[in-house]
Amino acid sequence: MHHSNSSNGGNPINNISIVWFRRDLRVEDNPALAAGVRAGYVVPVFIWAPEEEVHYYPGRVSRWWLCQSLRHLDSSLRSLGTSLITKRSFDTASTLLDLLNSTGATSLFFNHLYDPLSLVRDHRIKELLTARGFTVHSLNADLLYEPWEVTDKNGCPFSFFAPFWNKCLSMPYDPAAPLLPPKRIKSGDISRCPSDTLVFEDESERGSNALLARAWSPGWQNADKALSSFINGPLIDYSVNRKKADGTTTSLLSPHLHFGELSVRKVFHLARIKQLVWANEGNEAGEESVNLFLKSIGLREYSRYLSFHHPCSHERPLLSHLRLFPWVVDESYFKAWRQGRTGYPLVDAGMREIWATGWLHNCIRVVVSSFFVKVLQLPWRWGMKYFWDTLLDADLESDALGWQYISGTLPDGREFDRIDNPQFEGYKFDPDGEYVRRWLPELARLPTEWIHHPWDAPESVLQAAGIELGSNYPLPIIEISTAKERLEEALTEMWQIEAASRAAMENGTEEGLGDSSDSQYIDYPIETNMEVDLEHTRTNNIQATTRRYLDQTVPSITSSLVRIEEEEISVDIDIHEEDSRAEVPINVNIDAQLHEGTDTNSTILHFTPSRVEFSEESSSSFTERGLVPVWSPSSTSTPSEHFFTQETSRGHC
């Protein structure tokens, strides 16, 4: 994107710019803020419009974190000479337009987001404001490299993580160095745009939220301290300790990264510097720890990369064959999983931790989500939505990547027919049973020998530990052997339907079953209370379950974010890494309209098939790959054109 001077001739003395904060709540290495400061006077703004997120309204713990982080940001801005304007809105675009008019600002600066709703919303905002004569600048503050910069030798996006990350690590130019905080910010006139009081919690949530403050310290300066502590402490043993569920063995930086309190470029640079030091010292274990830690950063990058190139990844599997998997629609299973009453201690401990703290170790996330999809065979988007509602670091792009990986719906995801036994996983990640004992006090007196499979313990051992299976701790909700048989049957049925559909299409007798997005949705259960039933039965009988022969959908950002006729988002099952990659929609024009009304299920963001040409300064551009957001460079630009000059910015454009 090329920058143009604002309407007053580009004189920094008279320029007033709005800097729109979103998930970039920091003053350090914030390209939008730095660019606004260079341009002249600045009005920092945060707009709270959760209704625009539709079904992905932030959960309680996420809202608590946001509230604390905004206070921290405002304090930092005040120390630099300005303050944060907060606005409650139901239409971000119109609120921004009002702020531009009331402050006399001529420019808007903001940093990129990559979730599908933000891609559409940013496009709409840029077109609206550009048409009104305002200059809009958007920059990269969230990634090492923009999604369109990382391609294979043919200029196509990657469909596998390993080659994607290898390309990132071997790019001909390094990620931009982190920017220092501004020394001073000249504040624009805010007398005509007073802040709204934002309410992030109600009375019923305050008690639970108060407990979060004991364990977490939101805010960009606290994030910086947490990063320094990790880099100079646990990182060196990360390769050894990262899979231990009990204790602080990971960086705990993901909430800070999600809210943009921490720059991923700073994380990358500090980790690489530490790696060079250890390499010079011959510390191979330290080098390996950095490689593994940076791989986790790479997975975060890849989640945004997939969201950019496949904007339906939060709703549809990237491998098309699983659209016909017969998911089990059983709300009693879902409730037992949420409440941590499945009868499998490691799973139950994880689910109780996530409810109590809003946090879960990555290895335990894999365990509970794999159990959800493979053992219970519940629709994976139910689990993804629950994680969104309960995690402090709830992140649509990362959660979609994780759940698609577990469900085997990524080209390089886990095999769908692989079931990990929670008993064996327990002794792998919690060998001494301390994690289970912490979160399942009813099992606290059970010897380690039986802690991960109490159903096998002798009756005398159970009595000595005060455990009555089926009463104060449930029996397994389903036997693993039974789950394996059910999974094999479901997969066989799926392949039979797939084969019949293909045969019918080849014979021309019918059009086939089509994409699952055209099918009836499997609705997300409305009742998600966490109260535990007072009456427990001695046995957990497997009730008759309902299967749906379609790919499921829970309430999502849209009823269907993209519905383009004659376009197939999913990848064919016979995929090869070298030559078969999922395609993004092509020849598309965005017409993003949020329909008014009380029925949020009817909200659709429309993509109408047509080809539209734009000038360089327009707020939209399209490439041969398909839809590219408004802030992407043209397909003919060179890597050097993706950056600001030294005089304007060191962030990506």
Q: In Å, what is the CA distance from 491 to each residue of 398, 402, 601?
A: 27, 21, 31
In the structure encoding, which two tokens stand for residue 262, read together? 């921490």
Q: Say if residue 534 carries a ligand binding annotation.
A: no
Q: Say if residue 395 carries a ligand binding annotation.
A: yes
In the structure encoding, which two tokens stand for residue 427, read together? 């002794």
Q: Say if residue 435 carries a ligand binding annotation.
A: no
In the structure encoding, which two tokens stand for residue 512, read together? 């086939």
Q: Say if residue 591 carries a ligand binding annotation.
A: no
Q: Say if residue 393 carries a ligand binding annotation.
A: yes
List Cβ neighbours of 605 (8 Å cut-off, separation of 6 or more).
Answer: 117, 120, 557, 558, 561, 590, 592, 593, 594
Rounded to 5 degrees, φ, ψ at 620 are -140, 150
**Which three-class secondary structure state does DSSP give residue 152?**
coil
Q: Say if residue 293 carries a ligand binding annotation.
A: yes
Q: Is 258 exposed, middle or buried (0-12, 13-18, 19+ CB in 10 A)?
A: buried
Q: Say if residue 645 carries a ligand binding annotation.
A: no
Which amino acid, 195? S
Residue among 155, 154, 137, 146 at smallest CA distance from 173: 146
Q: Is 334 exposed, middle or buried (0-12, 13-18, 19+ CB in 10 A)?
A: buried
List Cβ neighbours of 334 (8 Å cut-off, separation of 6 or more).
Answer: 376, 378, 382, 525
Q: Buried (b) or exposed (e) across 70-101, using 16+ Cβ within 10 A? A: bebbbebbeebebbbbbbebeebbebbbebbe
Q: Say if residue 285 carries a ligand binding annotation.
A: no
Q: Which residues make beta-bridge pairs with 327?
A: 548
Q: Say if residue 254 carries a ligand binding annotation.
A: yes
Q: In Å, what is the CA distance from 488 to each residue of 371, 414, 495?
A: 15, 16, 11
Q: Is 177 exposed, middle or buried (0-12, 13-18, 19+ CB in 10 A)?
A: exposed
Largest Cα span, the chain: 85
In the structure encoding, which two tokens stand for residue 497, read together? 């339907």
Residue with tokens 């801005």: 77
Handedness of CA 349, 354, 360, 364 (dihedral sign): positive
Distance CA 123, CA 120 (A): 5
Q: Which residues make beta-bridge pairs with 588?
A: 609
Q: Say if residue 110 carries a ligand binding annotation.
A: no
In the structure encoding, which two tokens stand for residue 309, read together? 């190139």
Q: In Å, what is the CA distance from 342 to each residue of 57, 283, 390, 468, 474?
A: 28, 43, 19, 15, 7
Residue among 420, 315, 313, 408 at smallest CA distance from 364: 420
**Which three-class secondary structure state does DSSP give residue 196?**
coil
Distance CA 255, CA 65 (A): 8
Residue ranges at the known binding site for FAD: 238, 250-254, 293, 393-395
Residue ranges at the known binding site: 238, 250-254, 293, 393-395
